[in-house]
Amino acid sequence: MANVKKVRITEELRWAALKYRFYTLEKLQEAIADGTIDNMLKACADSMHGGDTRVVINAIRKNLSSQQTNMKKATYVSPENRDDWKRYELLWEYTGKLAESVRPMATGLPESVRAKSRWMLTKEEMNAIKSDDFKTLDSIYQNMMSKKSTNPEDIVKVMTMEEYLDRLQYISKLRSAAKAATSKGAAVLSENLLSKLNKGSKTTLSAEEVAELIKLIK
């Protein structure tokens, strides 16, 4: 049998432990609403995965999927398990929203780093992004700025703050260069169409010019 690597999470985040601690649906809903489970997730990410909550969220959802499979197979539901489906739905919806909120804007990221938190990218990994991809570079910059202001303690567990600020300055330069390149391209396109557009309503644009205009206004 192949050795399948299991992602570690704290015992308190597993189905049985969550069910025992938040033994009514009301208590579970309250724990979700007041940030109790958020803090449990963050503690697990900090202690086991260098602050990467996405790994923890994915592991919990796998655990929930296994529980769902078991519930589907059950031919009898005991009274103490009568709320399990609703509990599962609450946790599945909650972790789904979390997964979406921390999903990296990875369209411009190399495949090798798409599973990595944006604030942890090295200069070499930043260089692998297309120099004119402002959207991706900006997403990294914004993520790093947010991390510095909200969870600086996570950063110093992975690298020195001096190194982090150096990477932040580097992505800022890449981002600025991409923005300038984008602005320059738009200006050229606008100039190419300006004279024709100024002729008024009877002006006819070619298919290529229409495509350029659509690209400009997006």
What digits encode the pLDDT tens for the residues 120-146?
889 998 998 888 888 889 888 988 998
Domain boundaries, the chain: 11-103, 116-217
User: Do residues 23 and 16 lie in contact, with contact meaning Cβ atoms separated by under 8 Å?
Assistant: no
User: Do residues 105 and 135 lie in contact, with contact meaning Cβ atoms separated by under 8 Å?
Assistant: yes
In the chain, at which residue ranges do the beta strands (DSSP E only) sit? none
Residue found under tokens 């300006």 = 194
Per the structure block, which two tokens stand in for 84? 């399990």
102 CB-near residues (< 8 Å, 6+ apart): 53, 54, 57
pLDDT in tens, 181-215: 776 655 554 555 556 565 554 566 666 666 665 65
What distance, in Å, lies between the first and last C-alpha atoms of the chain? Answer: 52
CA separation for the pair 84, 19 (Å, rounded): 9
pLDDT value at residue 12: 95
Query: Helix 161-197 to helix 207-217 angle, to the nearest 10 degrees?
Result: 140
> Would the pTM count as exceeding 0.85?
no
pLDDT in tens, 35-67: 999 999 989 988 888 778 888 998 999 999 999
CA separation for the pair 114, 91 (Å, rounded): 25
Which DSSP symbol is given to 82? Answer: T
pLDDT value at residue 98: 85
Nearest by Cα to 140 from 104, 97, 181, 103: 104
